[in-house]
Amino acid sequence: MGDRVKHIFSGIGLIIGLAGTPLLAQADFLVKTVVLSKDVKKRTPQGIFLPPAYCEKDKNGQAAIPEVQTSKTSHVIFWTKIEATSTGKIRHSWHHKTDGTWTKISEVDIPIQPSPGYRMWSRKSLHPDLHIGEWMIVVAPSKEPDRILCIARFTVK
């Protein structure tokens, strides 16, 4: 009986000890909203492309993706709202699908501060003869590019 009581108290001590430790690094950034638009004014997207952009993990690839017409715009802006519990940098990696293969075209590291809704964006110029087809933007912490927070796709026509 004495060993059992020691084991229970040991377990309680472990739980109390864990409660005082910081959250794992995996909880430092959470993508709340993504938008593809033509412009940003006062930190708010303007001229939003339809259908709305989304993180694939939220929709499992089942929803329609935004279409960008190069006849109507020469660039696209990827706007994100992220909940952050730590300071760091978020990376937007822009990828274009060519001949069935995804190729990284550019990446932008954007500083982020702790906030319940930190707004940030990056921009990609579009050329009708070069950029037609499928695109995806991968959002990840700059220091951990393999820890994907969001993938958003769109099509350029």
One DSSP character per residue, the chain reads -HHHHHHHHHHHHHHHHHHTSPPPGGGSEEEEEEEEEEEEETTEEEEE-SSPP--HHHHTT-S---EE-TTT-SEEEEEEEEEESS-EEEEEEEEEEETTEEEEEEEEEEEE-SEEEEEEEEEEE--TTT--EEEEEEEEETT-TTS--EEEEEEE-
Q: Output the pTM of the full model.
A: 0.80
Res 74: pLDDT: 93
Res 122: pLDDT: 98
Report the chain's terminal Cα–Cα distance, integer Å.
74
Q: Which pair of structure tokens corresponds to residue 56? A: 């694939």
Cα(157)–Cα(146) distance, integer angstroms = 29
Cα(15)–Cα(33) distance, integer angstroms = 34
Read off the amino acid at residue 105. Answer: I
Dihedral sign for Cα 26, 137, 39, 67, please: negative
List per-residue pLDDT tens for the chain, 157 residues long: 555 544 444 444 434 343 443 443 456 999 999 999 999 999 999 999 999 999 987 656 567 899 999 888 999 999 999 999 999 999 999 999 999 999 999 999 999 999 999 999 999 999 888 899 999 999 999 999 999 999 999 999 9
Cα(117)–Cα(56) distance, integer angstroms = 20
133-141 β-sheet, strand order: 67-68, 150-156, 133-141, 88-98, 101-112
Cα(148)–Cα(109) distance, integer angstroms = 14
